[in-house]
């Protein structure tokens, strides 16, 4: 199993994305420091679908432990 991270949003929705939690954190922080309304682009785990997340809506990251 490759690295995955769960992103919990302010709405309560949880997104599982590809990547180590520290790498996902860097992407989100980079978007937050960017221009107004810059989105953090991540890849959904298992589907490969690209997702754009508003960094202001992220309330928690959780590293998914390999099975």
Q: Could you give the 3-state DSSP secondary structure of residue 49?
A: coil
User: What is the reported pTM?
Assistant: 0.91
44: which DSSP letter? B
DSSP state of 11: T
CA distance 36 to 11: 21
Distance CA(6)–CA(17), nearest Å, equals: 6
With beta carbons less than 8 A apart as the criterion, state whether 42 and 53 touch. yes
pLDDT tens-digit series, residues 3-45: 999 999 999 999 999 999 999 999 999 999 988 889 999 999 9
| Residue 59 pLDDT | 98
């Amino acid at each position: 199993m490759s690295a995955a991270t769960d992103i919990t949003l302010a709405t309560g929705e949880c997104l599982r994305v590809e990547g180590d939690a520290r790498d996902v954190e860097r992407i989100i922080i980079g978007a937050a420091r960017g221009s107004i309304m810059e989105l953090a682009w991540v890849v959904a785990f298992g589907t490969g679908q690209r997702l754009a997340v508003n960094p202001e809506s992220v309330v928690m990251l959780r590293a998914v432990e390999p099975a």
